[in-house]
């Protein structure tokens, strides 16, 4: 099972509760790549979050920072998210993001599937 901290609020107590309940991964906030073996998978930082105003250049930086052994955790909310416009990504921007990931040869997986990439 996976979890996303609401508002990116994390604590050791929250990690302990998730661990006790069988969670394997939890996405926190941040703006850096996740380094398996170094970072706690229950405090997994994100490298990029697609909010209105974010640019393809910011996504490119996040992807470029993922080197051998690290993972760029990318967050996409609704495409579009009409109920939460502050977290929405328009379809054209999302297509540009996905085209870049494809051009870079990235492997895209859901957070629930990231477990197989952990040591």
**What kind and span of H or E run contains 49?**
strand 48-50
Domain count, the chain: 1
Query: Looking at residue 91, what is its pLDDT?
Result: 94
Tell me how many degrees the CA angle 48-76-4 measures, rounded to the nearest 5.
Answer: 85
- Give per-residue pLDDT as tens, 18-56: 999 999 999 998 899 999 999 999 999 999 999 898 999
Query: Looking at residue 118, what is its pLDDT?
Result: 86
Query: Looking at residue 93, what is its pLDDT?
Result: 95
CA–CA separation, 33 and 45 (whole Å): 7
Residues 6+ apart with CB under 8 A from 68: none
CA–CA separation, 110 and 108 (whole Å): 7
Query: Looking at residue 77, what is its pLDDT?
Result: 86
- State the maximum Cα–Cα separation within the chain, in Å, rounded to a whole number: 41
In terms of residue numbers, what domain contains 57?
A: 2-117
Query: Looking at residue 99, what is its pLDDT?
Result: 97
């Amino acid at each position: 099972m996976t979890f996303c901290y609401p508002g990116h609020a994390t604590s050791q107590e929250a990690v302990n509760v998730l661990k006790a309940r069988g969670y394997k991964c939890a996405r926190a906030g941040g703006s850096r790549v996740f380094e398996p073996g170094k970072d706690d998978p229950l405090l997994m930082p994100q490298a990029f979050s697609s909010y209105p105003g974010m640019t393809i250049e910011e996504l490119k930086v996040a992807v470029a920072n993922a080197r051998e052994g690290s993972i760029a955790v990318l967050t996409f909310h609704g495409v579009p998210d009409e109920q939460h416009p502050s977290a929405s990504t328009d379809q054209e921007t999302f297509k540009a993001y996905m085209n870049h990931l494809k051009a870079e040869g990235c492997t895209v997986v859901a957070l629930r599937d990231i477990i197989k990439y952990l040591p």
